[in-house]
C-alpha cells in the first residue's frame, strides 16, 4: 500500500508537495477539519485515513498542540542541566498553562534555558528579555565556541564561491566515475550515526536505472545534545550545497532535497538565503557552468518528529505519508523518494565532499585513522567550561576534547551520553580509554554516533535518566513495529514504578528480556538502539541501580 501512496504523491512531486501542503494548511487554520482532510485527500487521490494519519503524527500539525504559543525544550541536555522548570515558571507569568508546549530538541544544548517562540529559538539569558521578545519580536543569536584541533575542514572561513565555481566547472567536464573513485579512496563514512561509507551509496544509486534520481540531505538533527549539523546549516551552508551538487553529478541525480527540522527555524532561513545566492550565481539549473549537468534544490521544512532522522521514515515524510520506517530491502538507492533511486546522507557527511574533490581522496584519507578517516565535529553541552562545536581529527583522544578543548566541567559529572539517546553511556572513568573514532567506541561497548555529548551530573539519579530515555523512545516511536511501540512504554512504566514504589524492584531477567526484544526485533535504530545505554548503565552504575533493580 505504501508503494502506491509513494507513486500517487509522486504525481505532483516536489513542486506541489503533499507534506508541505499539510504543514501550510495547519499553520493557516490551526488544525485540519474533517472537510479539509477530505479535500486534500481528493486532490492527491488518497484516503482520508492516510491524510489524518500523517497530520496527527507531527508535533506541529497534531490537534493537541493547537493554540500553543511557546514551546519549552525537553531535550536531554536541558533536562540534566535542570534549567527548564525555572524557565517554565518565568514563562507562566507571560503565558497561560495551555499556551506552553514542549519541544525536543532545539539544539541550544550549549547554554540550555531553551525555548521556541514565534518562529525563533532562544536560550541562555534570553528569558530575562521575554517582554522585549514578545513586544518587539527581538531575535537573539546564540554564541558558542567553534575551534579545531588538527585539520580544519568544516570550521574554517566560508569557501570562496569564485574558486568553487572554477573547481566545479572542471569537475563537470570529467567522467562521474573519476569523481566517485576519489570519494571511494577518501574512506569517508557517514557522520549521522551508523558510519556507513558514502561511496557505496553513491555507487549504488549511480548504477540504478531510471530517468530521475534524488539526493536527499537528512538535516533532521534530532539527537538531544547534538547541534553540529545546525552549525553547518547556519555557518557553513555553502559546503552542504556543494556536497549535494557533487553527489548529484556522481549519481546522475538532478534534484536535491534538504529536509530541515522545524525546530531549527534559523537554519531554514540561512539555507534559503544561501540557496538563492547559488541560483543567482548559476550554481543550479540546467547545463550548469556549460556542462550537461542539471540540478535543482528544494528545501522542505519538517514538522517535528525524531523518527524522521531515520532515512526511510524521512522519505515517507517528504511524500506526505505517516513517517513509518520501511522494511529493507529494497534500499533507498534502488527505491527511495517516490520510489526512485535516492541517496540519503546527513549534513556533516555531505559537507566533507568539497574538501575531497578539491584536495583528492588520498589527502582526506591521510587524516584520522585507516578505518575512520577525516575529521569529526563534536557537540559539547552546557556542563563544559567551554561548550561549543569542536572539529578534531578522527583518532584524537577523547580526553583532549573534554579537557583541552572543552576546559573540563563546571561541576562533577559521572557519565557522558555520547551519540544521542541511542548512543553509549560512558562513565567518566572510561574517557581515558576512548579515541574519537568508530572502532574505539565500538570496541569499548559504546557508539560514536553523532558525537554529541550530554553530561549526566553526579547528583542526577541514573534511574531517572534511563526512564527519560524510554519515555523519549515511547514518544518518538513511529509505531510500525511492536517491540519499539510497546517495549519502550513497558520500559518507561517499569522504571517509573521502581522510583515511586519502594516495595517494588525491577526483575533483571524481565528487563534483559525486554532489552533483547527491542534490540533484535525493532525495525530501526530507535527501538534497536535504546538497549545500549541501558546495558552500559547496568554495567557501570550497578551499585547505584541496585536500589531499584534486582541486579
**Residues 77, 45 share a domain:** no
- How many angstroms separate the Cα of 188 from the Cα of each of 216, 226, 257, 331? 17, 20, 21, 20
CATH number of the domain residue 300 falls in: 3.40.50.11540
Q: How confident is the model at residue 222 (pLDDT cuts 50, 70, 90)?
A: confident
- Return the C-alpha cell found at 289: 557552468
Least confident of 26-35, 313-322, 357-366: 26-35
**b/e for 154-182, b at 16 or more Cβ within 10 A?**
bbeeebeeeebeeebeebbeeebeebbeb
**Rg of the chain taking only CA atoms, in angstroms:** 23
Residues 6+ apart with CB under 8 A from 212: 253, 254, 255, 340
Residue 479 lies in a domain: yes
351, 344 in Cβ contact below 8 A?
no
**Residues 132, 56 share a domain:** no
> Has residue 29 got a pLDDT over 80?
no
| Cα 420 to chain centroid, rounded | 9
When pLDDT is averaged across residues 266-273 and rounded to a whole number, the result is: 97
**Residues 87, 24 share a domain:** no
Q: How confident is the model at residue 400 (pLDDT cuts 50, 70, 90)?
A: very high
Percent of the chain surpassing pLDDT 70? 100
pLDDT at 67: 83
The whole domain housing 497 covers 462-550
pLDDT at 28: 81
| 297 vs 275: CA distance, rounded Å | 8
| pLDDT per residue as tens digits for the range 435-491 | 999 999 999 999 999 999 999 999 999 999 999 999 999 999 999 999 999 999 999
Element (H, E) at 532: helix 531-540
Residue 401 lies in a domain: no
Q: How confident is the model at residue 137 (pLDDT cuts 50, 70, 90)?
A: confident
**Residues 346, 207 share a domain:** yes
Helix (H, G, I), strand (E, B) or coil at 206: helix
186, 365 in Cβ contact below 8 A?
yes
**Residues 84, 101 share a domain:** yes
- Return the C-alpha cell found at 290: 556549460
Residue 156 lies in a domain: no
Residue 246 lies in a domain: yes
pLDDT at 8: 85
When pLDDT is averaged across residues 345-364 and rounded to a whole number, the result is: 98
**Residues 240, 134 share a domain:** no
Residue 234 lies in a domain: yes
498, 548 in Cβ contact below 8 A?
yes
| Cα 183 to chain centroid, rounded | 23
> Has residue 502 got a pLDDT over 90?
no
Least confident of 28-42, 71-85, 313-327, 361-375: 28-42
Residue 381 lies in a domain: no
| Structural domain ending residue among the three candidates 143, 163, 190 | 143
pLDDT at 436: 98
pLDDT at 297: 98
pLDDT at 283: 98
551 or 307, greater pLDDT:
307
When pLDDT is averaged across residues 33-53 and rounded to a whole number, the result is: 93
Residue 180 lies in a domain: yes
**Residues 189, 288 share a domain:** yes
Average pLDDT, rounded, for the chain = 95
| 323 vs 300: CA distance, rounded Å | 15
> Has residue 30 got a pLDDT over 80?
no
Query: DSSP H helical segments within 292-397, as ranges?
Result: 311-318, 347-351, 353-359, 361-365
| pLDDT per residue as tens digits for the range 224-236 | 899 999 999 999 9
Q: How confident is the model at residue 65 (pLDDT cuts 50, 70, 90)?
A: confident
pLDDT at 26: 86
When pLDDT is averaged across residues 13-20 and rounded to a whole number, the result is: 92
| pLDDT per residue as tens digits for the range 144-161 | 999 999 999 999 999 999
**Residues 260, 178 share a domain:** yes
- How many angstroms separate the Cα of 282 from the Cα of each of 159, 239, 267? 16, 16, 23
Helix (H, G, I), strand (E, B) or coil at 504: coil
> Has residue 165 got a pLDDT over 60?
yes
**Residues 78, 53 share a domain:** no
Q: What is the pTM of this model?
A: 0.96
pLDDT at 326: 93
Residue 409 lies in a domain: no
192, 376 in Cβ contact below 8 A?
no
Taking Cα atoms as reference points, which of 138, 118, 135 lies closest to residue 126? 138
pLDDT at 462: 97
User: What is the number of domains present in the chain?
Assistant: 4
> Has residue 1 got a pLDDT over 60?
no
- How many angstroms separate the Cα of 201 from the Cα of each of 132, 198, 258, 517? 48, 5, 17, 30
CATH number of the domain residue 529 falls in: 1.20.1440.230
| Structural domain ending residue among the three candidates 125, 143, 161 | 143
> Has residue 54 got a pLDDT over 80?
yes
| 180 vs 199: CA distance, rounded Å | 7
| Structural domain ending residue among the three candidates 319, 351, 383 | 351
Q: 93: which DSSP letter?
A: T
**Residues 129, 111 share a domain:** yes
DSSP string, 67-91: T--EEEE--HHHHHHT-HHHHHHHH
**Residues 271, 313 share a domain:** yes
| pLDDT per residue as tens digits for the range 255-267 | 999 999 999 999 9
**Residues 335, 292 share a domain:** yes
Beta bridge partners of 391: 148, 377
Amino acid at each position: 500500500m505504501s508503494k502506491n501512496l509513494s507513486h500517487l504523491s509522486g504525481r505532483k512531486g516536489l513542486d506541489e508537495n503533499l507534506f508541505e501542503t499539510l504543514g501550510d494548511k495547519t499553520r493557516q487554520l490551526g488544525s485540519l477539519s474533517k472537510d479539509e482532510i477530505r479535500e486534500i485527500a481528493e486532490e492527491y487521490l488518497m484516503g482520508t485515513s492516510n491524510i489524518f494519519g500523517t497530520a496527527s503524527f507531527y508535533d506541529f500539525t497534531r490537534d493537541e498542540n493547537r493554540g500553543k504559543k511557546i514551546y519549552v525544550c525537553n531535550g536531554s541536555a536541558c533536562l540534566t542541566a535542570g534549567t527548564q522548570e525555572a524557565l517554565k515558571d518565568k514563562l507562566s507569568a507571560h503565558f497561560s498553562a495551555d499556551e506552553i508546549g514542549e519541544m525536543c530538541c532545539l539544539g541550544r544544548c550549549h547554554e540550555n534555558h531553551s525555548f521556541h517562540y514565534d518562529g525563533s529559538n532562544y536560550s541562555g539569558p534570553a528569558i530575562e528579555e521575554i517582554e522585549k521578545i514578545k513586544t518587539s519580536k527581538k531575535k537573539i543569536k546564540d554564541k558558542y565556541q567553534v575551534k579545531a584541533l588538527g585539520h580544519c575542514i568544516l570550521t574554517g572561513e566560508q569557501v570562496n564561491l569564485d574558486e568553487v565555481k572554477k573547481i566545479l566547472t572542471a569537475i563537470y567536464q570529467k567522467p562521474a566515475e573519476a569523481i566517485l573513485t576519489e570519494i571511494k579512496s577518501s574512506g569517508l563514512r557517514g557522520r549521522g550515526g551508523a558510519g556507513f561509507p558514502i561511496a557505496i551509496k553513491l555507487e549504488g544509486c549511480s548504477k540504478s536505472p531510471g530517468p530521475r534520481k534524488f539526493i536527499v540531505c537528512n538535516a533532521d538533527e534530532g539527537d538531544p545534545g547534538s547541534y553540529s549539523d545546525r552549525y553547518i546549516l547556519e555557518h557553513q551552508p555553502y559546503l552542504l550545497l556543494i556536497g549535494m551538487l557533487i553527489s548529484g553529478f556522481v549519481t546522475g541525480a538532478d534534484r536535491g532535497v534538504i529536509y530541515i527540522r522545524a525546530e531549527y527555524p534559523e537554519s531554514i532561513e540561512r539555507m534559503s538565503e544561501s540557496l538563492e545566492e547559488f541560483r543567482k550565481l548559476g550554481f543550479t539549473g540546467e547545463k550548469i557552468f556549460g556542462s550537461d549537468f542539471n540540478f535543482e534544490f528544494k528545501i522542505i521544512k519538517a514538522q517535528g518528529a525524531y523518527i524522521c532522522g531515520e532515512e526511510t521514515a524521512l522519505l515517507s515524510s517528504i511524500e506526505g505519508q505517516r513517517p513509518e520506517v520501511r522494511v529493507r530491502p529494497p534500499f533507498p538507492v534502488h527505491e527511495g523518494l517516490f520510489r526512485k533511486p535516492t541517496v540519503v546522507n546527513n549534513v556533516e557527511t555531505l559537507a566533507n565532499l568539497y574538501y575531497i574533490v578539491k584536495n583528492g581522496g588520498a589527502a582526506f584519507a591521510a587524516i584520522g585513522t585507516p578505518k575512520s578517516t577525516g575529521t569529526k565535529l563534536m557537540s559539547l553541552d552546557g556542563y563544559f567550561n567551554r561548550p561549543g562545536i569542536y572539529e578534531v581529527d578522527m583518532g584524537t583522544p577523547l580526553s583532549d576534547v573534554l579537557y583541552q578543548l572543552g576546559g573540563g566541567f563546571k561541576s562533577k559529572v559521572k557519565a557522558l551520553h555520547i551519540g544521542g539517546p541511542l548512543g553509549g553511556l560512558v562513565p567518566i572513568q572510561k574517557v581515558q580509554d576512548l579515541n574519537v573514532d568508530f572502532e574505539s567506541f565500538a570496541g569499548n561497548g559504546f557508539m560514536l554516533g553523532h558525537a554529541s555529548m550530554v553530561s549526566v551530573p553526579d547528583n542526577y539519579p541514573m534511574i531517572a535518566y534511563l526512564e527519560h530515555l524510554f519515555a523519549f523512545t515511547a514518544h518518538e516511536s513511529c509505531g510500525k513495529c511492536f517491540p519499539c511501540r510497546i517495549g519502550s512504554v513497558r520500559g518507561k512504566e517499569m522504571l517509573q514504578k521502581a522510583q515511586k514504589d519502594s516495595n517494588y524492584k525491577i526483575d533483571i531477567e524481565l528487563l534483559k528480556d525486554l532489552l533483547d526484544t527491542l534490540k533484535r526485533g525493532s525495525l530501526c535504530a530507535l527501538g534497536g538502539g535504546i538497549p545500549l545505554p541501558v546495558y552500559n548503565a547496568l554495567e557501570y552504575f550497578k551499585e547505584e541501580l541496585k536500589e531499584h533493580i534486582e541486579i
